[in-house]
Amino acid sequence: MKNFKIFYVIVVAIILSSATASNAQCPMCKASVESNLKDGGSTGKGLNNGIMYLLAAPYLAMAGVGFLWYKKFKKKDVDLSMKQERLNLN
């Protein structure tokens, strides 16, 4: 188990150290938005709103699934009577 932890740390370190900067927009979209912003347009704001919408959608979906899972598996009227004996945690 200790070897697995060391391997995991090494893999994470390699992945984090090999990160490079990248441009996420295609050159045509970037040029269009920059020229529109220079002319006083609001295309850039709409593009940013669209990106935020796409970013938030998976989190909202997972929150909905988590909420439904919690409601479905939540137990009601559970009897928690425990024996009066010593617990062995080993």
Structure tokens that stand for 12 in this block: 């994470």
Q: At residue 35, what is the residue type?
A: S
Place of tokens 């699934």: 65
* Nearest Cα to Cα of residue 37 among 48, 25, 26: 48
Task: Give the pLDDT confidence score for residue 80 in this predicted structure.
Answer: 65
| Selected residue with higher pLDDT from 32 and 81 | 32
Structure tokens that stand for 36 in this block: 């529109």
As a whole number, the mean pLDDT across the chain is 80
**42-73 pLDDT tens trace:** 777 788 788 888 889 999 999 999 999 888 87
pLDDT at residue 76 tops 80: no
Task: Give the pLDDT confidence score for residue 63 in this predicted structure.
Answer: 96
**19-33 pLDDT tens trace:** 776 666 677 777 888
Helices (H), the chain: 2-17, 27-38, 43-73
